[in-house]
């Protein structure tokens, strides 16, 4: 019998704050340079840098690659991730950071709905109401009537639905070793985007190469911080702390990119956060009853 270490929310919260800081740094680089390069090229460079970083881990844990199961699901996860990251990097370069972050918060609710439709998970009336509330909040936060209706806004729902689809597939792969999941994800992204990146390749300015490669390194570091956060902290506590990413996004958008959030952003964000809290509390109550 194995015993789990006691939860330490303070340590988990510190890891999650580090994850947010590293992630917003990576997104800021993409926002700074993303309009100059095709999104698929940035995804390729991100995957390339990430794969180089995890090669030692792959070698050490190479035994976990014996008798890999569910290869088709692994490939589906990679395909959905290619769409998610490409849409994400395309959008972040063209919409305010605050709007990008607010729309991203609809993912837990959209994942819940997709799980009900695809995995036949039961959803009560309360969570269906939360789903509708989150969608309304995201629309208000994005405020297409005052924010230019660009292709960046169009990419946001693609990012959300493809990303939620990838989460659903990941749930089906929960028995797969972590190293296998990371390798399929990173190597798959690189292989799938390589032909498209080659066709649309834009020569990289010398002073842009290191920042672009840093996106991949920072993404891997953020993933590690995220995993450590959930190893130490309770999910309910971390879900509340995660809302601080809105503050991170708004602050960076204002201080670095001169983006001033509109009043509608705050109103929409309150609805999205309220909907996500409604779902979280409902799930916790359900677990306590079972």
Which tens digit of pLDDT belongs to each residue from 120-163? 666 667 767 777 777 777 777 766 665 556 677 888 889 988 98
Would you tell me how many other CB atoms lie within 10 Å of the CB of residue 205?
Answer: 12
The model's pTM? 0.74
State the average pLDDT over residues 73-83: 89
pLDDT in tens, 216-248: 889 888 877 877 786 777 655 666 667 677 778
pLDDT in tens, 158-208: 998 898 888 788 777 767 777 788 888 889 999 999 999 999 999 999 999
**CB-CB contact of 264 with 141 (8 Å):** yes
**pLDDT of 235:** 59
**pLDDT of 191:** 93
Is pLDDT at 111 greater than 90 in this prediction?
no
> Residue 213 corresponds to which tokens in the numbers above?
């490669």
**pLDDT of 2:** 44
> Residue 89 corresponds to which tokens in the numbers above?
């990097």
pLDDT band at residue 17 using 50, 70 and 90 as cut-offs: confident
pLDDT band at residue 79 using 50, 70 and 90 as cut-offs: very high
State the average pLDDT over residues 8-29: 86
The owner of tokens 């503050």 is 247
Q: Give the Cα separation of 89 and 197 in Å (integer).
A: 14
**pLDDT of 5:** 60
**pLDDT of 69:** 76
**CB-CB contact of 189 with 82 (8 Å):** yes
Which region among 77-91, 246-260, 263-277 has the lowest average model confidence (pLDDT)? Answer: 263-277
Taking all residues of the chain, what is their mean pLDDT, rounded to a whole number?
Answer: 79
Q: For 132, what's the count of Cα atoms within 13 Å in the CB-facing half-sphere?
A: 6
In sequence order, the 6+-apart residues with CB closer than 8 A to the CB of 188 are 74, 75, 77, 78, 81, 82
Task: State CA 17 to chain mean position distance.
Answer: 15
């Amino acid at each position: 019998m194995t015993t789990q270490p006691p939860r330490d929310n303070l340590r988990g919260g510190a890891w999650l704050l580090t994850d947010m800081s590293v992630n917003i740094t990576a997104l800021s680089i993409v926002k700074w340079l993303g309009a100059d390069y095709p999104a698929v090229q940035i995804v390729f460079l991100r995957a390339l840098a990430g794969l180089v970083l995890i090669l030692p881990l792959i070698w050490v844990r190479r035994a976990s690659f014996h008798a890999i199961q569910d290869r088709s699901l692994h490939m589906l996860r990679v395909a959905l991730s290619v769409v998610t990251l490409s849409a994400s990097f395309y959008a972040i370069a063209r919409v305010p950071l605050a709007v990008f972050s607010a729309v991203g918060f609809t993912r837990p609710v959209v994942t819940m709905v997709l799980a009900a439709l695809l995995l036949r998970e039961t959803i009560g009336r309360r969570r269906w109401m939360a789903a509708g509330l989150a969608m309304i909040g995201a629309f208000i936060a994005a405020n297409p009537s005052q924010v230019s209706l660009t292709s960046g806004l169009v990419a946001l729902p693609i990012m959300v639905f493809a990303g939620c689809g990838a989460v659903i597939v990941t749930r089906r792969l929960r028995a797969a070793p972590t190293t296998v999941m990371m390798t399929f994800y990173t190597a798959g992204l690189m292989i799938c985007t390589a032909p498209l990146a080659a066709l649309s390749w834009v020569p990289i300015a010398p002073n842009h190469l290191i920042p672009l490669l840093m996106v991949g390194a920072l993404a891997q570091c953020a993933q590690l911080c995220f995993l450590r956060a959930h190893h130490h902290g309770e999910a309910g506590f971390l879900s509340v702390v995660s809302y601080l990413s809105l503050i991170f996004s708004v602050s960076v958008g204002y201080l670095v990119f001169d983006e001033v959030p509109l009043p509608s952003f705050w109103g929409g964000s309150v609805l999205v956060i309220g909907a996500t809290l409604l779902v979280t509390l409902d799930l916790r109550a359900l677990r306590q009853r079972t």
